Amino acid sequence: DVKVTQSSRYLVKRTGEKVFLECVQDMDHENMFWYRQDPGLGLRLIYFSYDVKMKEKGDIPEGYSVSREKKERFSLILESASTNQTSMYLCASSRAGTGREKLFFGSGTQLSVL
Amino acid sequence: DAKTTQPPSMDCAEGRAANLPCNHSTISGNEYVYWYRQIHSQGPQYIIHGLKNNETNEMASLIITEDRKSSTLILPHATLRDTAVYYCIVINYGGSQGNLIFGKGTKLSVKP
């Protein structure tokens, strides 16, 4: 079964901490995405990457950075976590070219920043 | 990408067909209609997509009107496990890297 795996299901951090959210896919997909999901706001795109070491800003990149050193792994970094970054974080991947809009999602990481 | 409009919620009886509408009146010729769903506490799941012809797969059917301004996702025999938020997304097939814009979707409740 194809899989997108997020390293943690639940995470609790303190304000000011550096937070790493890891995502790994086993489908050899070129594209990877980080979304956050908040009640009443739906899914919002933070960053995406269409190749190793490449990244593009999404709709809400402020306060986040990403790293893609290997094709299968896409990391989301909160340099200094704040309470307004408490959210559900979803990673997704898709192949390049035809079918790039068919995204495969992980199960999500519920991050609480206290 | 064209904007979509969906009802915020719908109910359906178990075993009956669930018909979820989506309005995309500003859709352009090279834009596809995609449907995803999100079951509680899980990531979204791809269901189906189409351009202008009706499509069917093992999960659902997609009916797109002739003028392409609206579409309907049909779950032919809804079960309790189909309770989820359903997202209709219109996307320019050649104009993105696959980054999708999810709206608020329709919350479908399947009741026994």
In terms of pLDDT, which residue wins out, B102 or A50?
Answer: A50
What integer is the mean pLDDT of B83-89? 96
Strands of the sheet containing A4-6, edge to edge, are A4-6, A19-25, A73-78, A65-70
Which residues of chain B lie closer than 8 angstroms to A91, CB-CB?
43
Ranges A67-81, A96-110, B41-55, B86-100: which has the least confidence: B86-100
Q: Does B94 touch chain A (CB under 8 A)?
A: no
pLDDT exceeds 90 at position A111: yes
What is the three-class DSSP state of A84?
A: helix
Tokens of B78: 């809804």
pLDDT the model gives residue A73: 97
pLDDT exceeds 90 at position B57: yes
Nearest to A40 by CA among B12, B21, B102: B102
Per-residue pLDDT reduced to its tens digit, A24-68 = 999 999 999 999 999 888 889 999 999 999 999 998 999 999 999
Average pLDDT score, chain A: 93
Residue A96 and residue B37 in contact, taking contact as beta carbons nearer than 8 Å: no
- Of A90, A100, A108, which is closest to B97 when you measure between CB atoms? A100
- Of B36, B46, B97, which is closest to A50 when you measure between CB atoms? B97
Which residues of chain A lie closer than 8 angstroms to B41, CB-CB?
107-108
Per-residue pLDDT reduced to its tens digit, A59-93 = 899 999 999 999 999 999 999 999 999 999 999 99
pLDDT exceeds 80 at position B67: yes
In terms of pLDDT, which residue wins out, B95 or B42?
Answer: B42
How many whole angstroms separate alpha carbon B29 and alpha carbon B68?
9
The B residues from 56 to 75 touching A (CB cutoff 8 Å) are: none
Q: Does B103 touch chain A (CB under 8 A)?
A: yes
Please tell me which residue of chain A has the smallest CA distance to B33. A101
How many angstroms separate the Cα of A36 from the Cα of each of A25, A103, B43, B69, B80? 18, 15, 11, 29, 27
The A residues from 18 to 47 touching B (CB cutoff 8 Å) are: 31, 33, 35, 40, 42-43, 45
Which residues lie across from A66 on neighbouring strands? Answer: A76
Percentage with pLDDT > 90 across chain B: 72
Q: How far is CA B19 from the centre of its chain?
A: 10
pLDDT the model gives residue B97: 64
What integer is the mean pLDDT of B4-30? 94
